[in-house]
Amino acid sequence: MQFGAQLVNYSITWEELLSTIKVVEAGRWHSLYYSDHFLTPVPGAGLEDRPALEGWSLITATAAVTKRLRLGILVTGNTYRNPALLAKMAATVDQISNGRLNLGIGAGWYKGEHEAFGWEFPGVRERCDRLEEAVELIKILFTAEGPVDYNGHYYKLNKAHFSPACTQKPHVPIMVGGNGEKRTLRTLAKFGDICNLDFNYPASPELFKHKMDVIEHHCEEFGRDPAEIKKTIHIPLRLESDEKKAAQLRKTRGEWGMYGTASFIIDRIQQYKDVGVEEIMFGGVPSKPGLFESINEEILSAFNK
């Protein structure tokens, strides 16, 4: 079992993040991620004026100060950037990191953020259409051996040269984030390399198994072996020694959230491992070195022996 740390890039400075990055790099963690928002992503909470550091800038800086962690964004909002630009960004960070980048991408969801910054926020169907076209275009660029022409409905390329290529071979792994069974998981099965299910709520091993069945069905359509796709989940975690507080957190934030003592969380992780989860990315943990040291010593140590 592998573990990823999604650091919170809101209401924090680079200097504060850097101290946590060093702890994660020195620990048992497999990967490190940021999220992709320009306002603190808690709609209606009145946090719009809080500092929000941009994720791709952060992951580029993190690539330069780390040596072993896999890196990425959980996940890039497709509506924020032209996918050809995103592919160039990814190939550049892949070179800076010496081949340690995962390109996470999703359809985008934060309507208020789009309105604040003047970005178009299409309906769900169009966002799913755009995501599928974007991932196809990115994969074409990643594997191109010459100039690329692309004539999609939303995106177009005219003899676009893609150089330098990805450091990783055959290319930077493409992680498709999201739970939508009809469109998102189909796009994953068609073009993606890593599945990342958002298990903030709802969540359970049974739900994971159901989503895997959906992915297998889509893979059959495209003649793919589902084993080619790495299975990961993103889930909130909070070490809480007070069982009453932990139970209340699970009641209000989702019964399968990782809220509780170390032994409770270890048991939950094992249940996910037993149904085929290969990596768990923990979210919602404040970016404080001591918290990640505790998780490393009390939880990760049980699986990385």
User: pLDDT tens-digit profile of 75-84?
Assistant: 999 999 999 9
- At residue 139, the pLDDT reads 98
- At residue 79, the pLDDT reads 97
Cα 151-157-158 angle, rounded to 5 deg: 105
- Longest Cα–Cα distance in the chain: 61
Nearest to 287 by CA among 6, 4, 8, 18: 8
Whether residue 103 is predicted with pLDDT greater than 90 in this model: the reply is yes
- At residue 91, the pLDDT reads 98
- At residue 304, the pLDDT reads 77
Residue 136 to residue 156: CA distance in whole angstroms? 12
C-alpha distances in angstroms, 35 versus 47, 56, 205? 16, 9, 24
pLDDT band at 147 (very low <50, low <70, confident <90, very high): very high
Fold for the domain defined by 2-302 = TIM Barrel (3.20.20)
Provide the pairing of β-strand 148-151 with 156-160. Answer: antiparallel
- At residue 201, the pLDDT reads 82
- At residue 305, the pLDDT reads 62
Grouping H, G, I as helix, E, B as strand and the rest as coil, residue 19 is helix
- At residue 198, the pLDDT reads 95
**Other C-beta atoms lying within 10 Å of the C-beta of residue 186:** 21
Q: How much of the chain exceeds pLDDT 90, in percent?
A: 94
The mean pLDDT of 23-51, rounded to a whole number, is: 95
The mean pLDDT of 130-153, rounded to a whole number, is: 97
Mean pLDDT across the chain, nearest whole number? 96
Q: Are 54 and 41 in contact (CB under 8 A)?
A: no
User: pLDDT tens-digit profile of 257-276?
Assistant: 899 999 999 999 999 999 99
DSSP state of 274: H
pLDDT band at 44 (very low <50, low <70, confident <90, very high): confident
The mean pLDDT of 204-215, rounded to a whole number, is: 97
